[in-house]
Amino acid sequence: MVKDKKPAKLSVGAMAPDFSLRDESGKTVDLSGFRGKKNVVLVFYPGDMTPGCTVQLCAVRDDWSKFEAADAVVFGINHGDTDSHQRFKRAYDFPFPLLIDTGKKTSEKFGALKTLFGRPVIKRTVIVIDKEGKIVFLKSGMPKHSDILKAIK
């Protein structure tokens, strides 16, 4: 990550940048593949098996039927490796894939990075992308699922 070069600030109404990442099973997920088909919810989280991240992703799991009813797919994203993601998903029975953002490049594209003790770390961020590829919700922290789902038309 180059300090001088900041990615363009994303905002609600902007087109989401494309990405291609592998999930915990090795399957490649391309954001562009959902255009015209599904709403996409990206949950950027700092670490597998950590207390806050476990609470956040278990809440998505517990509200899974609401996300399905909103015609949305959900992806958890961080820099954890395949083994870490598999253990996390298996331990908590997540019905959605966990994507591996090696090098944190996708997190950087989506503004989900911050600097902590001089190192880039993933900032807890939720982004909703509509079927046309436009960002309709963008919030740091752990937003209410009712607010996330309201953003999906």
Phi, psi of 91 (to 5 degrees): -60, -35
Active site residue 53: yes
Contacts of 109 (CB under 8 A, 6+ apart): 7, 17, 19
User: What distance in Å separates the CA atoms of residue 62 and residue 105, rounded to the nearest whole number?
Assistant: 29
Residue of 40, 41, 43, 53 marked catalytic: 53
Contact between 115 and 122 (Cβ < 8 Å)? no
- Annotated catalytic residues are 53
